[in-house]
């Protein structure tokens, strides 16, 4: 916190405490008790700033967790879609593998005939090689999706743990802040009560002296 901000906050706290402890502010807050009270209020204010910072961090962590969950769901959907595509591909392959190529006209030469039915003479048109290549690509994609899913799950677990720790710290700060506020209220109430009874005692003494005369 900058020095100017501290001074501003102290002035605000002075106005608040002045309404509760007017007896300490008659001397323009020069007594040791006044300085101690202002210091205590400033510390409570800084604890409040710390609590707000924790709350912001907590909300940020919650947002990151939601984002990670969305990414994890997207990966799972992509993986399921890939599995569905693979099952369709295997089904189509099982159907097409039983199909016998039709007899080609005898006017074609040997090279044209081998290219047409797709053999090892032309790898780009070899259905068996293309099928094996597609299987390799599919398995590689599945492995990548699994690794990505595991990585996202690990990050998600880490964020959940951080969020739980931050939540406990947040609750602890709330309890500490509530304790500070309660102590201040009790002290202010006792001071006002003491001042009230002191005024009654002074008034009784004045009345007694008046009656004695």
**Predicted model pTM:** 0.43
- Asked whether residue 32 carries a pLDDT value surpassing 50, the answer given is yes
pLDDT of residue 59: 75
Q: What does the buried/exposed string (b/e) look like for 91-111 if buried means 16 or more CB atoms within 10 Å of the residue's CB?
A: eeeeeeeeeeeeeeeeeeeee
pLDDT digits (tens, 9 = 90+) for 140-182: 877 877 787 788 788 878 877 877 777 777 677 777 777 777 7
Phi and psi, residue 109, nearest 5°:
-85, 180
For residue 28, the 8-state DSSP code is: S
- Asked whether residue 93 carries a pLDDT value surpassing 70, the answer given is no
Domain ranges of the chain: 3-98+111-212
Q: Using alpha carbons, select from 2, 8, 3, 9 the residue that is nearest to residue 43.
A: 9
- Report the Cα 53 to chain-centroid distance in Å: 12
CATH of domain 3-98+111-212: 1.10.287
Could you tell me if 114 and 121 are in contact, meaning their C-beta atoms sit under 8 angstroms apart? yes
């Amino acid at each position: 916190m900058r020095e100017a901000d501290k001074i501003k906050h102290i002035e605000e706290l002075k106005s608040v405490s002045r309404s509760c402890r007017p007896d300490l502010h008659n001397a323009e807050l020069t007594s040791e008790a006044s300085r101690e009270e202002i210091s205590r209020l400033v510390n409570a204010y800084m604890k409040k700033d710390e609590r707000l910072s924790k709350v912001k961090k907590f909300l940020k962590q919650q947002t990151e967790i939601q984002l990670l969950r969305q990414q994890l769901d997207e990966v799972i959907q992509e993986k399921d879609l890939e599995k569905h595509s693979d099952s369709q591909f295997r089904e189509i392959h099982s159907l097409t593998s039983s199909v016998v190529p039709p007899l080609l006209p005898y006017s074609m030469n040997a090279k044209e005939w081998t290219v047409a039915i797709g053999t090892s003479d032309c790898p780009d048109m070899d259905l068996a090689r293309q099928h094996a290549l597609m299987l390799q690509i599919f398995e590689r994609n599945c492995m990548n999706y699994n690794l990505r899913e595991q990585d996202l799950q690990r990050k998600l677990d880490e964020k959940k743990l951080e969020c739980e720790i931050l939540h406990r710290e947040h609750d602890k700060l709330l309890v500490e802040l509530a304790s500070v506020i309660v102590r201040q209220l009790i002290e202010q109430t006792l001071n006002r009560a003491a001042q009230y009874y002191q005024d009654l005692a002074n008034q009784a003494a004045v009345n007694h002296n008046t009656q004695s005369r």
